[in-house]
Amino acid sequence: MSRHFIGKLIIVALALIVLVGGGSELYAHRHFKETIVKGPGVTRVAKLSDYFAPLKGTINDTNVFILEGSKPGGTVLVLGGSHPNESSGIVAAVLLVENAKVDAGKLIVIPHINRSGSTGTQPSSGYPLYFHIKTDWGERTFQMGDRVTNPLDQWPDPDVYVHYPSGQLLSYVEIRNVNRTWPGRANGTLTEKTSYAAMRLIEQEKVDIVIDLHEAELLYPVTNCIVAPTKDITIATMACINISSEFFDIHTEPSPQNYHGLTHREIADHSSAYPFLLEASGPFLDQPTGPKTESLIIDGKDDFLLIAGKRGLLFTDYDESGKPMKMRVGRHLTTVQALCSEWSSENPDREIVIESPGYEDLMENDVGHYLLNPAAVDPDSVILE
C-alpha cells in the first residue's frame, strides 16, 4: 500500500469520526420528544390535523391541549413556539397546560405551533441543543430550536418569498417563518399549511382571542410589549395600564397595517378573533452577547448587554439580575391573565376566567416549581411532543 493511499484512508477515517460524532447528536436532537404532563385542567388533547386533515403525518401535526371550564364563555388560544428559539414562549405554554384551571370559557394551548423548527438549531450560531430546568423533583429537558421551519422539512427556499394572499415580497428565509405565513394556504408549503390549519382551528373552535408568545432582543425597539391591531388596541392598552401599575413595565405597539403574514395582522383581518402578540425581552436573541449557552437562556445575564445598557443602547432596563426565564415566563402568564380579564369585562357574554401561576408566583418560586413530574403521574397523562 502506498503512503498516499494510507494518507487518504486516514483522512476518510477522520471525516467519518467527525460525521458520526457530530451527526449522532444532531440526529438525537432531531428525534427528541419533549414530555408534557396533562394538568388538572386539561379536558381533551387534539391534533392540529383534526382541523385540517392534510397536515396529518407531517412533523407539524402538533398537540393541541384543550382546557374547558364548567361555565360557558369565550375561547382563548395561546400559541407557543411560533419562533422555537424564543424559549420562554414555549415554557409558558407548557406551564399553562400543566397548571391552568378554567372556571369559565375555554383555553386552548399549542406549545409548539411550528414543531419542525424545534428539531434543529440556528446554523453557525453556536446554540446549545437543549436547555434544562431544575424542578422540585429533578429536571425537565427542552429542545432548543431555530426561528424557522427545519430545512429538512421544507426545501428549497425561493429567491424571494411572495406572501399569500397579499403578494408582499419578503426575504427568502421568511417562507419558513410561521409568523410570516398567516393566514396560510391549503395547498402551500408545510409552514403555510400549519398557519392555515391554525386558522381553521380558530374558526371551528370559535376562538375569541389569540395570544402568540414571543421573545425579542433588548436592542430591538419592539420589546416588553403587546403588539395589537387597531380592533383590539383598547383591550391591549387597558391590560398594559393594569399590569404596569401592579407588576412590571409593558406597553402597546400597533400592528403595522401593511406588514403581512404576522399573527397580529392576518388573524385580525381574516377571522373574527382578536390577536395579541407578546414580546418579552430575551437576551439570548441579541447579537453582541457572550457565548450562546444554556445559562444565557435560563439566567439571561450577559456582560456585553450590561455595557450596552449603560450606554443607553437598549430598549428596556437591564442590570446584573439579567432577564431570567422565570421573569420572562411570569410576564407572559400575567399578560395572558390580564388580556383575558380585559376581554371578559368588555364581553361579559363571552367571559374567559383562568386560574394559573403569574409573575409574582414565578419570581418567588421559579419555573421548575410549576413543572409536573412525568414519572409521578398516570402514564396516560404523559404526552410526547
Q: Site residues (CB under 5 A) for Zn ion?
A: 83, 86, 214
Q: Min. distance of Cβ 262 from Zn ion in angstroms? A: 10
- The least distance separating Zn ion from the CB of residue 67, rounded to whole angstroms, comes to 24
Q: Of the candidates 180, 177, 182, which has an alpha carbon nearest to the alpha carbon of residue 199?
A: 182
For 48, the 3-state DSSP assignment is helix
Judge whether 194 and 200 are in contact, CB under 8 Å: no
As measured in angstroms, the least distance from the Cβ of 209 to Zn ion is 19
Q: For residue 167, what are the contacts with CB-CB under 8 A and spacing of at least 6?
A: none
- Of the pair 102, 198, the CB lying nearest Zn ion is at 198
Q: Which is nearer to Zn ion, 99 or 191 (CB)?
A: 191
Residue ranges with strand state E in the chain: 35-37, 44-47, 63-68, 71-79, 101-110, 130-134, 139-143, 160-162, 169-171, 209-216, 225-228, 251-254, 274-281, 353-355, 382-384
Residue 225 C-beta: closest distance to Zn ion, Å: 12
Q: CB of residue 83 vs Zn ion: minimum separation in angstroms? A: 4
C-alpha cell at 150: 427545519
Judged by beta carbon, residue 83 or residue 115, the one nearer Zn ion is 83
Nearer to Zn ion, 86 or 146 (CB): 86
**CB nearer Zn ion, residue 279 or residue 366:** 279
CA distances from 7 to 17, 18, 19, 94 (A): 15, 17, 18, 52
> For residue 173, with 0-12 CB atoms within 10 Å meaning exposed, 13-18 middle and 19 or more buried, which class applies?
middle
Q: Cell numbers at residue 308, please?
A: 450596552
Q: How far is the CB of 23 from Zn ion (least distance, A)?
A: 29
**In the complex, least distance from residue 153 CB atom to Zn ion, rounded to whole angstroms:** 19
| Cβ distance to Zn ion smaller for residue 83 or 193 | 83
Nearest to 37 by CA among 96, 83, 118, 90: 96
Helices 325-346 and 87-99: crossing angle, nearest 10°?
60
Q: Is 124 exposed, middle or buried (0-12, 13-18, 19+ CB in 10 A)?
A: exposed
Among residues 38 and 265, whose Cβ is nearest to Zn ion?
A: 265
Nearer Cβ to Zn ion, position 38 or 180? 180
- Measure Cα distances from 307 to 119, 216, 259, 311, 327 in Å: 34, 19, 33, 6, 21
**To the nearest whole angstrom, how small is the minimum distance from the Cβ of residue 82 to Zn ion?**
6
